[in-house]
Chain A
Amino acid sequence: MKPEKFESLSDEALHALADRMGLSLPPDLDRVFVAEEILDAIEEDSEERGAAGLSAGRMEETKFSCADFLDVDVCLEAAPVLSPSYNETAIKVLVRDPSWAFAFWEIAENEKQALFSVDGAMDLFLRVCETSDDGTPLDKQEFFDIPIAEEDQQWYINLPKPKTRYRIDLCARLDGKIKVLARSKNVAVPRQLLDENWKRLGPGSAELLRLSGLDSLDIEPEEPGNPQRILKSGPSGD
């Protein structure tokens, strides 16, 4: 991509592009430097993609190649801007893989004003609770809290255990009292290891699993007492 590509973009559009690419730049940074940062990020991203290898998912991208995408990808002016707000208090959680979930939320304006108008200390946080398979709370509640700022609207949350169900509450703590503002549905985190009953499968099945590509998928048999946890996340897909 050539730096001239940015000439048609306003300062605002250029900064918006940098924001979308996850670049944290000072708002008053000269446009020349903003463009350079964007170019560097694109180059770095391109190199990372090249090094990551081509999985089935990445092969899917090739059918969309009818141009050098880097050269035609800066045409953001016409895009309508969607408001990130629906003025409601809600939280939703999407499980991404055995160790991460994506949570996004919103607090309705009137509720937010009410919270912040109260005298005394107030802080917001997410409470990540483990639940039983059918979604009911566990006898012994297991949870952890993640502090969030007023302007936050989403987080990627590292989940402690695969093969587990979680619920995430959007909470406010007012003078030590907790108020649940919104509650997500229970979500199921997938397993990443073979069921421990694999040992009872017999040598024939063990060999069929091996021939099926168990090793190349980094799926290991689960051992009793060995908690499931992602230790590595490779680029290989399925």
Chain B
Amino acid sequence: MESGYLALVLNAHLPFVRQPDYPRFLEERWFFEALSETYLPLLRVFRRLEAEDISFRLTLSLSPTLCAMLGDELLGERYVCFLDGQLALARKEEERVGADPVFGPLARMYAELYRSDREDYLELYERDVLGAFDYYYKKGRIELITSAATHAFLPIYRDNREVVAAQLETALVSHRRAFGKHPAGFWLPHLGWYPGLEELLHSYNIQYCVVGTRGGLLGQPTPLAGSFAPVQCPNGLTAFIRDSAATEAVWSEESGYPTNAVYRDFYRDIGFDLPMDYLGHFVEDGDNRIYTGFKYWAVTGRTDDKRPYDREAAMARVKEDASSFIAGRLAKASSAAVHMSRPPLMVAPYDAELFGHFWFEGAAWLEEVFRQAAKEPRLSLLSLGDYNRMYPENQVSVPEFSSWGDGGFAEVWIDGANDWIYRHAFKAAERMTELAERFPDESGLRERILNQAAREVLLCMSSDWALLMRAGKSASFARKRVEDAITNFNRIYEMLSSNTVGTEWITRLEKRNNLFPEINYRMFRKKH
């Protein structure tokens, strides 16, 4: 019998940053970098494991906005340009430091990374990255789930049932469109949960979600097995509880694996070290340096005096950290098992982009965890759906309102830097419901306009913008995204109220914000 179960859960998500009005756009790099450093390397991990017949199980949430961007033709074209730019810089770097015994191999490592990405993207997957994930989904290696349409932090909208329903419904339609199946699970953005959410999730035939440790433990009644077993809401929805130790082992800034001195440093980048004229288009607007992705230094410690990155040492460390992770989970499982009638479950949810993008060795670490776990009979890796099928009955409890953000509740998303959003977002949602009630049976151009209005309402609710405003990162961009969405919505509302239609403008807007092609504005109708 197993000592314990481990469920690794990754949330792959980026907000909708497509900007067709500009030939190139800085924030689209978030998407290109995540593709290059996380999504494609993750698929290479799956490919190697499958080729070697090594069993692996993973629950992966692909958010609807990310799916929209992964399936977008224009972004696909731009991604190839991005890769060509990276490869051109790689060639320059090979010329610059190729002969250096320390930095030469690192320049070649980046050249190889981008060559592999280009080959996989264009030749192996023929630009269909969603199809690549679907392949492992259909083969039963990974379990794909979805998340809120625009990653809205749902507890904020708890009093507006139409908004939460629209976020769910759009997500489910998007998932079915991409993968042809209804997802069993739902990733709560930032693990944002509130009592009552189970009703909507269940009504859309969602079987499970993951909640934060705080929310789970504060549930009513208190969960008898702590976070080592899920709880079941009275209506049958399973709420898995995040294992805080498994998450801390990776995410702690003080002691998490990525902080190890030998790993590659994320912040030290040639984009900030080399002369601007050398960097060429890696300088924005003539004087803003950006990350190029070429980073030659190790974390070293809390110092600016970094040591050169040693790939071999880092990969050796990956093996040690994977062993340590598994040993830690086994130890925890063994301590918990004596108090339980079934093997304890540890749910380890992370943002996917941590692996490879921020923590350069993260994808390799995941691969090593899968490899070592496959040889460890006392620990079974499974998906959340696997567990749910194995143990359909769980203690009845309703988790408390919570999230995984700072403070554990909604402090990140309701803050002096971003609270202005909600006056407008709620008004737009209220007006959207009013429009859907006034025009329930529209078709043709008017239906298109109403559908675009629904897109704009959903876009203004993206929690990423609030997060960035609070963090002070790209805050003016984030602010503009919200303001644009609300301005677009208000313009449509006024057009429909005065019965005037700007066809040319709406067509341009549809082309710009082209996500969710199957959206149905009627989902904003009153829920009784």
A in complex with B = yes
- For window 66-87 of A, CB contacts with B under 8 Å fall at 66-76, 78-82, 84, 86
User: Is B511 an interface residue when CB atoms closer than 8 A count as contact?
Assistant: no
Q: Is the CB of B403 within 8 A of A57?
A: yes
Q: Is the CB of B284 within 8 A of A72?
A: yes
Q: Is the CB of B253 within 8 A of A238?
A: no
User: Which of B103-111, B116-124, B483-491 lines the interface with chain A?
Assistant: B483-491
With both beta carbons as reference points, the residue of chain A lying nearest to B340 in the complex is identified as A208
With both beta carbons as reference points, the residue of chain B lying nearest to A81 in the complex is identified as B483
- For window 134-192 of A, CB contacts with B under 8 Å fall at 153-154, 185, 187-188, 190-192
User: Is B480 an interface residue when CB atoms closer than 8 A count as contact?
Assistant: yes
User: Is A59 an interface residue when CB atoms closer than 8 A count as contact?
Assistant: yes
Q: Is the CB of A67 within 8 A of B407?
A: no
**B476 interface neighbour in A75, A208, A213, Cβ under 8 Å:** A75
**A197 interface neighbour in B216, B222, B226, B464, Cβ under 8 Å:** B222
With both beta carbons as reference points, the residue of chain A lying nearest to B290 in the complex is identified as A67
With both beta carbons as reference points, the residue of chain B lying nearest to A86 in the complex is identified as B427
Q: Is the CB of B226 within 8 A of A211?
A: yes
Q: A79-B483, A207-B339, A208-B340 are in contact. Are A188 and B195 (CB under 8 A)?
A: yes
Using an 8 Å CB-CB cutoff, how does the interface string of A16-42 with B read, 1 for contact, 0 for none?
000010100000000000000000001
Q: Is the CB of B244 within 8 A of A208?
A: no
Contacts of B401 in A (CB 8 A): 95, 188, 190
Contacts of B195 in A (CB 8 A): 188
- For window 186-219 of B, CB contacts with A under 8 Å fall at 190-191, 195, 212-218
**A102 interface neighbour in B228, B414, B467, Cβ under 8 Å:** B414
User: Is A125 an interface residue when CB atoms closer than 8 A count as contact?
Assistant: no
Contacts of A236 in B (CB 8 A): 406-408
Using an 8 Å CB-CB cutoff, how does the interface string of B257-278 with A read, 1 for contact, 0 for none?
0000000001000001000000
Cα–Cα distance between A178 and B294 once the two chains are bound (Å):
66
Q: A102-B414, A212-B227 are in contact. Are A92 and B422 (CB under 8 A)?
A: yes
Tell me how far the C-beta of A91 lies from the nearest C-beta in chain B, rounded to whole angstroms.
11
Tell me how far the C-beta of A73 lies from the nearest C-beta in chain B, rounded to whole angstroms.
5
Q: Is the CB of A213 within 8 A of B244?
A: yes
- For window 372-406 of B, CB contacts with A under 8 Å fall at 400-406
**B213 interface neighbour in A45, A81, A207, A238, Cβ under 8 Å:** A238
Q: Is the CB of B406 within 8 A of A219?
A: no
Q: A57-B404, A95-B401 are in contact. Are A71 and B357 (CB under 8 A)?
A: no
Contacts of A238 in B (CB 8 A): 191, 212-215, 242, 244, 402-405, 408
User: Is A112 an interface residue when CB atoms closer than 8 A count as contact?
Assistant: no
Tell me how far the C-beta of A190 lies from the nearest C-beta in chain B, rounded to whole angstroms.
4
Q: Is the CB of A73 within 8 A of B407?
A: no
Cα–Cα distance between A67 and B34 once the two chains are bound (Å):
14
**A57 interface neighbour in B156, B245, B406, Cβ under 8 Å:** B406
Count, chain A residues at interface, CB 8 A: 80
Q: Is the CB of A235 within 8 A of B228?
A: no
Q: Is the CB of A237 within 8 A of B408?
A: yes
Using an 8 Å CB-CB cutoff, how does the interface string of A47-72 with B read, 1 for contact, 0 for none?
00100111111111111111111111
User: Is A104 an interface residue when CB atoms closer than 8 A count as contact?
Assistant: yes
Using an 8 Å CB-CB cutoff, how does the interface string of A205-218 with B read, 1 for contact, 0 for none?
10111111110110
Count, chain B residues at interface, CB 8 A: 96
Q: Is the CB of A190 within 8 A of B402?
A: yes
User: Which of B23-31, B73-81, B169-177 lines the interface with chain A?
Assistant: B23-31
Q: A97-B409, A188-B401 are in contact. Are A60 and B213 (CB under 8 A)?
A: no
Q: Is the CB of B404 within 8 A of A237?
A: yes
Q: Is the CB of B227 within 8 A of A82?
A: no
User: Is A224 an interface residue when CB atoms closer than 8 A count as contact?
Assistant: no
With both beta carbons as reference points, the residue of chain A lying nearest to B190 in the complex is identified as A57
Cα–Cα distance between A216 and B227 once the two chains are bound (Å):
14
User: Is A10 an interface residue when CB atoms closer than 8 A count as contact?
Assistant: no
User: Is B307 an interface residue when CB atoms closer than 8 A count as contact?
Assistant: no
Q: A79-B480, A211-B228, A217-B214 are in contact. Are A56 and B289 (CB under 8 A)?
A: no
With both beta carbons as reference points, the residue of chain A lying nearest to B227 in the complex is identified as A212
Contacts of B228 in A (CB 8 A): 208, 211-212
**B217 interface neighbour in A61, A72, A194, A197, Cβ under 8 Å:** A194
Q: A79-B483, A154-B419 are in contact. Are A97 and B411 (CB under 8 A)?
A: yes
User: Is B423 an interface residue when CB atoms closer than 8 A count as contact?
Assistant: yes
**B226 interface neighbour in A45, A73, A84, A209, Cβ under 8 Å:** A209
With both beta carbons as reference points, the residue of chain A lying nearest to B401 in the complex is identified as A190
Tell me how far the C-beta of A162 lies from the nearest C-beta in chain B, rounded to whole angstroms.
10
Contacts of A53 in B (CB 8 A): 253-254
Cα–Cα distance between A197 and B266 once the two chains are bound (Å):
47
Cα–Cα distance between A96 and B158 once the two chains are bound (Å):
12
Q: A211-B332, A219-B217, A238-B212 are in contact. Are A60 and B190 (CB under 8 A)?
A: yes
Cα–Cα distance between A108 and B335 once the two chains are bound (Å):
61
Tell me how far the C-beta of B30 lies from the nearest C-beta in chain A, rounded to whole angstroms.
6
Cα–Cα distance between A118 and B218 once the two chains are bound (Å):
50
Q: Is the CB of A190 within 8 A of B409?
A: yes
Tell me how far the C-beta of B472 lies from the nearest C-beta in chain A, rounded to whole angstroms.
6
Cα–Cα distance between A153 and B289 once the two chains are bound (Å):
39
Contacts of B420 in A (CB 8 A): 84
Cα–Cα distance between A102 and B412 once the two chains are bound (Å):
13
User: Is B14 an interface residue when CB atoms closer than 8 A count as contact?
Assistant: yes
Contacts of A208 in B (CB 8 A): 224-226, 228, 336, 339-340
User: Is A198 an interface residue when CB atoms closer than 8 A count as contact?
Assistant: yes
With both beta carbons as reference points, the residue of chain B lying nearest to A216 in the complex is identified as B244
Contacts of A3 in B (CB 8 A): none
Most A CB within 10 A of own CB, among B195, B244, B468:
B244
User: Is A46 an interface residue when CB atoms closer than 8 A count as contact?
Assistant: yes
Contacts of A195 in B (CB 8 A): 218, 220-222
Q: Is the CB of A211 within 8 A of B335?
A: yes
Cα–Cα distance between A153 and B254 once the two chains are bound (Å):
40
User: Is B351 an interface residue when CB atoms closer than 8 A count as contact?
Assistant: yes
Contacts of A81 in B (CB 8 A): 483
Cα–Cα distance between A48 and B521 once the two chains are bound (Å):
43
B residues in contact (CB < 8 Å) with A:
14, 26-27, 29-30, 33-34, 155-156, 159, 190-191, 195, 212-218, 220-222, 224-228, 241-245, 247-248, 251-254, 256, 266, 272, 284, 288-291, 332, 335-336, 339-340, 351, 353-354, 357-358, 400-412, 414, 416-417, 419-420, 422-424, 426-427, 464, 467-468, 471-477, 479-480, 483-484, 486-487
List 8 A-B pairs, Cβ < 8 Å: A55-B404, A61-B473, A63-B34, A66-B291, A67-B291, A190-B401, A208-B228, A238-B191
Extra contacts, 7 of them, besides A94-B414, A208-B340, A237-B403 (Cβ < 8 A), are A56-B405, A191-B218, A195-B218, A208-B339, A211-B335, A233-B411, A238-B242
Top 9 A-B residue pairs of the complex, sorted by shortest distance between their CB atoms: A54-B253, A212-B226, A57-B405, A213-B244, A238-B212, A204-B339, A238-B404, A97-B409, A63-B353
